[in-house]
């Protein structure tokens, strides 16, 4: 274990995700377990630039495991994208005697951590926390399971009213560049079709699929649309479909930020706990400029550069399954 790393800072950055608190707790308690001092950075890179630190101990993270959001707050910080901003952040870390930084966030936050390491040599390690599940180097990101559960339970409720009125619903889920939530929520919610950024489905394909079921109860159908879908969001897709299916009674629901909130699922709490422990243990063993993830239920450290330059493709098996089940 590295004797040089005595003081560790932890922060959350970018879009928040359920389970971030559980990850902070795991980082803090593991650092304390190994007799290290821990600081929390409030408001991500903005807090780093402005020296917004709080001292944390094992008690500071009592009773946060089960809460959504992040008690350290999160932020998006343009100043950190500039070299002067990162210089200020590095100066803040040094003035507090901080030797290493744990960043819980998504690809943007990891890009920032990677640049900080390259410019100043400060040891960094990333913990993937984003509902989008769009990071290579881990099977799942913290918050994804909870977001899928939230979306599935909302879709169940929409199905009740859709069925009563025999309506076609377009339900938009989050995923600016990734269809992970959409494809999973689509399978879990029994959608007839799912439109995601990574697919090439056309409006004609969609109309064919929707018409296929006419005559049964298929005028009651749910289509899941990822917000970054290649045909546009749910409103845009619904507008394209309306003139082609004039007999259908069409409605649109945008699930939005409710998918980012709520108590983390047990799976997300366990994932966050495992990754938090592994992040601190990794740092103490000299794993710098990497992201910690779980692949096939084992801890894996992936260089940030590799994780950031790899694209996580949706599993084609999910499309196959969704297609079979929607006949």
Interacting residues with ligand F6P (CB under 6 A): 15, 130-132, 174-176, 227, 260
Of 13-21, 199-207, 235-243, 294-302, the segment contacting ligand ADP by CB under 6 A is 13-21
Report how far Cα 239 is from the mean position of its chain's Cα atoms. Answer: 29
CB of 150 to ligand F6P, least distance (A): 12
In 3-state terms, the chain is what percent helix, strand and coil (to 5)? 45, 20, 35
Contact 176, 228 (CB under 8 A): yes
Residue holding tokens 């004039």? 246
Cβ atoms within 10 Å, residue 202? 11
The site partner of 77 among ligand ADP, ligand F6P, none (C-beta below 5 to 8 Å per kind) is ligand ADP
CA distance 171 to 186: 10
The site partner of 170 among ligand ADP, ligand F6P, none (C-beta below 5 to 8 Å per kind) is none
The site partner of 45 among ligand ADP, ligand F6P, none (C-beta below 5 to 8 Å per kind) is ligand ADP
| 107 labelled catalytic | no
CB of 206 to ligand ADP, least distance (A): 30
The tokens describing 248, both together, are: 């259908």
CA distance 104 to 74: 10
CB of 296 to ligand F6P, least distance (A): 25
Nearer to ligand F6P, 99 or 268 (CB): 268
Catalytic residue among 16, 99, 107, 132: 132
Residue 300 Cα distances to 68, 287, 290, 297, 323, angstroms: 25, 11, 10, 9, 32
The catalytic residues are 132
Q: Which spans of this chain sit near ligand ADP (rule: CB under 6 A)?
A: 13-15, 45, 76-77, 80-81, 105-109, 111-112, 115, 130
């Amino acid at each position: 274990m590295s004797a040089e790393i005595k003081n560790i800072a932890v922060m959350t950055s970018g879009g928040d995700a359920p389970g971030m608190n559980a990850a902070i707790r795991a980082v803090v308690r593991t650092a304390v377990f190994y007799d290290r001092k821990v600081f929390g950075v409030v408001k991500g890179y903005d807090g780093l630039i402005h020296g917004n630190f709080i001292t944390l101990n094992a008690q500071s993270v009592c009773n946060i495991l089960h809460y959504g959001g992040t008690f350290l707050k999160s932020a998006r910080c343009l100043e950190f994208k500039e070299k002067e901003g990162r210089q200020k952040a590095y100066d803040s870390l040094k003035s507090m005697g901080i030797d290493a930084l744990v960043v819980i966030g998504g690809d943007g936050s990891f890009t920032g951590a990677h640049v900080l390491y390259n410019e100043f040599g400060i040891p960094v390690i990333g913990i993937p926390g984003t509902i989008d599940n769009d990071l290579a180097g881990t099977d799942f990101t913290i918050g994804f399971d909870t977001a899928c559960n939230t979306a599935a339970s909302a879709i169940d409720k929409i199905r009740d009213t859709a069925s009563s009125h025999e309506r076609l619903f377009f339900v938009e889920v989050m995923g600016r560049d990734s269809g992970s939530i959409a494809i999973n929520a689509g399978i879990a919610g029994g959608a007839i079709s799912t439109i995601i950024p990574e697919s090439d489905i056309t409006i004609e394909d969609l109309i064919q699929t929707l018409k296929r079921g006419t005559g049964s109860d298929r005028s009651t159908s749910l289509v899941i649309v990822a917000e970054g879908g290649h045909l546009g969001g749910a409103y845009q897709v619904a507008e394209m479909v309306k003139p082609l299916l004039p007999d259908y009674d069409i409605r649109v629901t945008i699930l939005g930020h409710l998918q980012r909130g709520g108590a983390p699922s047990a799976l997300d709490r366990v994932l966050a706990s495992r990754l938090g422990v592994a992040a601190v243990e990794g740092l103490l063993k000299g794993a710098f400029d990497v992201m910690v993830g779980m692949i096939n239920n084992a801890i894996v450290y992936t260089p940030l550069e590799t994780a950031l330059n790899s694209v996580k493709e949706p599993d084609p098996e999910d499309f196959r399954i969704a297609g079979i089940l929607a006949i």
